[in-house]
Amino acid sequence: MKTATGNTSIMDMFEEGKVVKICAPMVRYSKLAFRSLVRKYSCDVCFTPMIIAADFLRSVKARDSEFTTNTSDRPLIVQFAAQDTQTLADAACVVAPFSDGVDLNCGCPQRWAMSAGYGACLINKPELVKDMVRHVRNQVDNPNYTVSIKIRIHKDLRQTVDLCQKAESAGVSWVTVHGRTTEERHQPVHYDAIKTIKESVSVPVIANGDIKYLRDVESTHQLTGVNGVMAARGLLANPAMFAGYEDTPLQCIWDWVDIAVEQGTPFSCFHHHLIYMLERVSSQPERKVFNSLSSTSAVIDYLQNTYGSIHDLEP
């Protein structure tokens, strides 16, 4: 890893008046290779998958496997799960030379995370979140380094507004709001709640949830007034979504093959991404065949035979 030098603040993006387009933190999926792909297709900012801060600090092996980057992997936000102020601040100091900010996960609704004191249980601990944000601010000596939080909403929105205002008072750079409660999974996103939060703070607010096409970026912005949007499943299905493609273009599929092979992506990850990308554009019999492939060479042969090679795209 090389230390980035002279990087400007990521906050400048929010001042340009455009809606910032962000790749969400996704367990197993938003790793370096996938970040490299979506950056080719109009993604402005990428998050790492959630990293448990305590494990990251405890083990060199965990650091090497959980956090990989390169000089073109910017702007980059490292998302941590943490339950105490010092652990988060120490982890932030480790990654600060190689990234543009850290994000505290206050939104993961999975039972294991909440029972361990991570994720969405933190939305009910506003004073702790406030202290964690302030502690990172005080310990990282780069004034341009961002500290953000990603949250879910409460049933009583006044609690969410209070949480965001407390985080703002501690120096939070921005807030990402997944517009569902901890109990909700596939229910409609509460855009009205995101709008209320946006109107209650002066820092940028990012909307997350159900961003599947580029048109959803604009409609979410219109409904809520947010400064940016974050996509997860929408980008898995179509990494070129932010560039305006309705479905994954062939060029993007071959770009993924090139990046994955070049970076030595494990086959299961390489294959899984392609399963997502091809879901909308392939028939059920085609998917059945593709899902059963078990080697990189078999996948490449299949793609060439079914969709054509990259040379077929050249005029």
DSSP assignment letter at 87: H
Six-digit token string for 52: 């448990």
Report pTM: 0.94
Number of helices (H) and strands (E) in the chain: give both, helices first. Answer: 15, 9
8 pLDDT exceeds 80?
Answer: no
Half-sphere exposure of 40 (CA within 13 A, CB side): 18
Annotated binding-site ranges for FMN: 25-27, 79, 178, 232-233
Residue-wise pLDDT for 202-261, tens only, equals 999 999 999 999 999 999 999 999 999 999 999 999 999 999 999 999 999 999 999 999
Banded model confidence at residue 1, pLDDT cuts 50, 70, 90: very low
Cβ of 213: how many Cβ atoms within 10 Å?
A: 18
Res. 185 pLDDT band, cuts 50 70 90: confident
CB 176 within 8 A of CB 103: yes
As given in the structure block, the two tokens for residue 86 are 């010092």
Examine the pLDDT at 314 and tell me if it is beyond 60. Answer: no
Residue found by looking up tokens 């990251």 in the block: 56
Say what the alpha-carbon torsion angle 42, 269, 178, 108 is, to the nearest 10 degrees. Answer: -150
| Domains defined along the chain, listed by start | 10-243 (3.20.20.70), 250-312 (no CATH)
User: Which residues belong to the annotated binding site?
Assistant: 25-27, 79, 178, 232-233
- Average pLDDT rounded to a whole number, residues 56-75: 94
Per-residue pLDDT at 3? 38
Q: Which residues are catalytic?
A: 108
Strands 228-231 and 174-178: unpaired
179 vs 314, more confident: 179
Of the candidates 280, 198, 223, the residue with the CA atom closest to the CA atom of residue 246: 280
